[in-house]
Amino acid sequence: MSLHTLTLAELAAGLDRRDYSSVELTRHFLDRISRFDAAATGGLNSYITVTPERALAQAAAADAARAAARSGTGSAGQLTGIPLAQKDIFCTEGVKTTCGSKMLDSFISPYNAEVVTRCDAAGLVMLGKTNMDEFAMGSSNETSFYGAVKNPWDVTRVPGGSSGGSAAAVAARLAPAATGTDTGGSIRQPASLCNLTGLKPSYGRISRWGMIAFASSLDQAGPMTQTAEDAALLLQVMAGHDAKDSTSIDHPVPDYRATLNDSLQGLRIGLPRQFFGEGLNASTAALIQAAIRELEKLGATCVEVDLPNSGLSVPAYYVIAPAECSSNLSRFDGVRFGHRCDNPKDLEDLYKRSRAEGFGEEVRRRIMIGTYALSAGYYDAYYLQAQRVRRLIKQDFDAAFAHCDVILGPTAPDTAFALGAKQEDPIAMYLQDIYTIATNLAGLPGMSIPAGFSAGLPVGLQLIGPYWSEARLLNVAHRYQQVTDWHRQLPAAFA
């Protein structure tokens, strides 16, 4: 079996057995990136920056740490020496960190995000920084200043977004795992479109320190992997309280692998009637129903639940998120760092031209919407109303979880669409997140797992749980993956 087809757990076992070294493993993935990813030669364009020198140095240090652990003179973690791709939204000391934007094309971060620090401490090897929708605003990875990312299952189609680069890299096995961020579905939707396991934890579970902000009350980092077991391993590294982040919550972090094999006997699965109605592709619906039957064979029972305000999640989100982004992105003004226009006439000209040149069309659109919603005379009519709807959505989930343990449904209404198909219709693009946004508004954990193929393209199954129920979601996903092999399928061109 080729190294790139192995899961994190399998790669770790191979390093333990000394079947290969971390340096050999890292070179294998760097070679695949060189072979398959360059946009100039028609590659996937999943990476913005590849860091071979840094990666090989980290790999050599990991091999030394494992050798010291074997001799009893040191220690090494389970994931020490395993390569990883970081989404280019996480600040990385000494490495260009762009957030997919011209605004930060020349920005070299002077410090590490907490997620990067934790990955480094665990001995993971960073292969590079992955492409993404500009400032995480998009559902197709087409808004990136560095060009669109291609879906490995069909290179004429999108990989989803905003974590499309991470999704494509893992799907094509240009990295065994990657980090992503999810503001309205940006881990789960690309995981669905690329046949991955993607987990958005509870809000506050993973530090946002050093993660460039889009919408501060919605953004959350998470793992993008091949399997639920791998997601558990990577979440174990990423999760935990961080005093530097005021939104990080000091809540115990369980051993996520310990409960992976727990029985699903008696598990109550809630099926929201709003997730199975108009707008859901018939083939996608059939695959979700087939997955439900597999879970019932494992001992789960299904109950219908109601999320009556879920239909309001998209309009509420597209008031709240732009409002927060208009505030967060005000720091990019051409003065302190980031893109600066040439020869400004005065301070006002500096601000206007630097921002107009540095931000892409979608980012400018959302800044304008958010500024309008927060302006005098409109705050109560738009922003305050959206926050009231957000509270109703949370209350809907609270009521539903009184009758079930997890909620199940599709991740996306359809499979990956063609590159360019929705670029001229922002509303159609926004509706790609119709099943995922409510989870972010409520701050709940959610994940997408592979559930089959429609016309050769992946379909994702979404699981949603109450606060801090990541272990339960991983358990359900893992047991499902023990009786199916969708997650083991590879796009033929990258096998």
The DSSP H or E segment spanning 397 is: helix 385-400
Angle at alpha carbon of residue 264, lines to 263 and 266, rounded to 5°: 115
Q: How far apart are CA 35 and CA 229, in angstroms?
A: 28
Burial zone of 67 (CB within 10 Å; 0-12 exposed, 13-18 middle, 19+ buried)? middle
Determine contact, residues 93/126, Cβ cutoff 8 Å. no
- Fold for the domain defined by 3-270+404-494: Amidase signature (AS) enzymes (3.90.1300)
Rounded Cα distance, 220 and 163, in Å: 12
Nearest to 400 by CA among 310, 306, 275: 306
What confidence score (pLDDT) does residue 423 get? 83
| Active-site residue (options: 101, 186, 207, 469) | 186
Dist. CA 283–CA 146, nearest whole Å: 34
The span from the CA of 400 to the CA of 171, in Å, is 33
SS3 334: coil
Q: How far does CA 326 lie from the centroid of its chain? A: 22
* CB atoms closer than 10 angstroms to residue 409: 25
pLDDT of residue 63: 97
- pLDDT for 424: 82
Give the single-character DSSP code of 267. P
Q: Would you state the torsion angle of the CA atoms of residues 16, 17, 19, 25, taken in this order, to the nearest 10 degrees?
A: -10
Q: Is the dihedral of CA 294, 299, 305, 309 positive or negative?
A: negative
Let me know if 162 is a catalytic residue: yes
- Cα angle value 295/298/299 (rounded, 5°): 100
- Residue 151 pairs in a beta bridge with 154
What b/e string do you get for 275-306 counting C-beta neighbours within 10 Å, with b at 16 or more?
beeeebeebbbebbeebbeebeeeebebeebe
Q: Distance between CA 362 and CA 417 in Å, rounded?
A: 19
Strand order in the sheet with 197-200: 47-50, 125-130, 83-87, 178-182, 220-225, 197-200, 446-454, 457-464, 406-410, 268-272, 301-305
pLDDT at 487: 97
From first to last of the 495 residues of the chain, give the pLDDT tens digit.
699 999 999 999 999 999 999 999 999 999 999 999 998 888 999 999 999 999 999 999 999 999 999 999 989 999 999 999 999 999 999 999 999 999 999 999 999 999 999 999 999 999 999 999 999 999 999 999 999 999 999 999 999 999 999 999 999 999 999 999 999 999 999 999 999 999 999 999 999 999 999 999 999 999 999 999 999 999 999 999 999 999 999 999 999 999 999 999 999 999 999 999 888 999 999 999 999 999 999 999 999 999 999 999 999 999 999 999 999 999 999 998 899 999 999 999 999 999 999 999 999 999 999 999 998 888 888 999 999 999 999 999 999 999 999 999 999 999 999 999 988 888 888 888 999 999 999 999 999 999 999 999 999 999 999 999 999 999 999 999 999 999 999 999 998
Report pLDDT for 1: 62
Q: Per the residue annotation, which of 46, 139, 144, 162 is the catalytic one?
A: 162
Which residue among 21, 22, 46, 87 is the active-site one? 87
Is 263 noted as a catalytic residue in this protein?
no
Q: Would residue 186 show up in a list of annotated catalytic residues for this protein?
A: yes
H helix or E strand, kind and range, residue 475: helix 470-482
CA distance 72 to 13: 19
Cα 265 to its chain centre, rounded Å, is: 30
pLDDT at 241: 98
Domain ranges of the chain: 3-270+404-494
